[in-house]
Amino acid sequence: MPFHSWDDDTSKHMVWERQGQTVLVTGGLSPLGRRVIEHLSKSGWTVRVLVPPGFGACVTFPKRVFVVEGLLSNPESLQAAVVDCRKVVHLSERIFGRSAAEFRTENIEGTRNLIQASKEAKVGHFIFLSSAAVNYRNSTFYGRSKKIAEDVLRGSGLVWTILRPTLLVGASGGSEYHWLRRAVRRFKVLPLPEGGHIVKCPIHEEDLAEGIDSLVRANLHTVARHTYNLAGRQALTLAELVDMIAADYHLSPRIVLRVPAWLCVAVAKLADRLMPPKLPFSFTELLRVLVQDSDYDIERANQDFGFTARPLSGRLHRQNQTALAPTTVVSTQHAVRPRKQRQSLLRRSR
């Protein structure tokens, strides 16, 4: 399978590939993925990015970055992606869904396929981006799929490291943060479960990208076969996060109403029944994530590979234009395209 590169000096790329310093990144079309790729490239790694068929010639990345087309659901396409790679950084995931089967295909089976291809290629280090949702008291489809994928990796025989970030915030942010931010911008009065007293420890997407870069460069013997919690510097309640979002957008203070958790669950279930079947997410699943505390100690990550987090205030929504331009992304798998172009690419990939 041919590789696409964004540097005209092909001979230099061939030298870099032979040096054995190549890192494969999945989910590279997401805002987080593009930040990770930029950091790895600046750190001197040759980065190979797995993208869906048809997207290889439609995206741009920094120098020393190759694009290889393939799908996590297609084991044969992964063999070319991992060949001669020293490390794999697996960021690709499904974050929206309405059933366990939807998450199983990408988060479990896709990860299993990549792990098998990495074993056959003798990859030296497999880094898996999991989630704090694995530890939630009330599990979600997403969290359970991540837990199963973690178990598959632990039993694979590979040298692995697992990362469990908390609520992802920033210019793009995670799904639950996206909806919270949207509500803050649209409404002056916000009904929140238990008055927004649920405690989160949000992590900025730039801090997470820098942390992944530090992990890739860390001493392998120190970080091998460890699971790390990654969280932000500040423990905030949802109500405090609402205030911070409003302040960053220069909005008037929002009024938070206390709503019993049971009532929120009932409304979410009703909304799921009334919403069109094609809606890509479940309100019930989203609510389960929002109503659970996620405040974790990051001391071990700091000691082992220097992970740090900076204060959130004033940079919640600041864009990193270099890392994000020019591709707009709606998930870790697919970039936004005109409808006719998307249909054409889908027909070509079949």
Mean pLDDT value of segment 325-347:
39
Write out pLDDT tens, residues 70-93. 999 999 999 999 999 999 999 999
- Report the predicted TM-score, pTM, of the whole model to 2 decimal places: 0.84
- Given this model, what pLDDT does residue 57 score? 67
Write out pLDDT tens, residues 226-260. 999 999 988 999 999 999 999 999 999 999 999 98
Inform me whether the pLDDT recorded for 280 exceeds 80.
no
Cα-Cα-Cα-Cα dihedral sign, residues 331, 119, 56, 127: positive
Measure the CA–CA gap between 97 and 200, rounded to whole angstroms: 23
Q: For all residues of the chain together, what is the average pLDDT?
A: 83
- Given this model, what pLDDT does residue 114 score? 98
Lowest mean pLDDT across 1-15, 80-94, 313-327: 1-15
Cα separations in angstroms, 217 against 10, 206, 306: 26, 17, 10
Mean pLDDT value of segment 298-315:
92
Measure the CA–CA gap between 51 and 331, rounded to whole angstroms: 12
- 3-state SS of 245-285 is HHHHCCCCCCEEEEECHHHHHHHHHHHHHHCCCCCCCCHHH
For 254, other C-beta atoms within 10 Å of its C-beta total 19
Torsions phi, psi of 19, nearest 5? -75, -10
Task: Report helix, strand or coil for 109.
Answer: helix
Confidence of residue 55 (pLDDT cuts 50, 70, 90): confident
Q: Percentage of residues in the chain with pLDDT exceeding 70?
A: 84
- Given this model, what pLDDT does residue 185 score? 94
Measure the CA–CA gap between 90 and 187, rounded to whole angstroms: 37
Most confident of 43-47, 310-314, 322-326: 43-47
What are residue 255's DSSP bridge partners? 189
- Given this model, what pLDDT does residue 295 score? 73
Cα separations in angstroms, 228 against 128, 191, 198, 225: 11, 33, 22, 10
- Given this model, what pLDDT does residue 202 score? 92
Confidence of residue 319 (pLDDT cuts 50, 70, 90): low
Give the homologous superfamily in CATH for domain 4-170+203-232+297-349: NAD(P)-binding Rossmann-like Domain (3.40.50.720)
Write out pLDDT tens, residues 131-188. 998 988 888 899 999 999 999 999 999 999 999 999 999 887 887 888 889 999 999 9
Mean pLDDT value of segment 320-346:
39
Write out pLDDT tens, residues 21-43. 899 999 999 989 999 999 999 99
Mean pLDDT value of segment 300-329:
71
First to last CA, the chain: 16
Write out pLDDT tens, residues 262-271. 888 898 889 8
Inform me whether the pLDDT recorded for 18 exceeds 60.
no
Quote the DSSP letter at residue 29.
T
Task: Report helix, strand or coil for 322.
Answer: helix
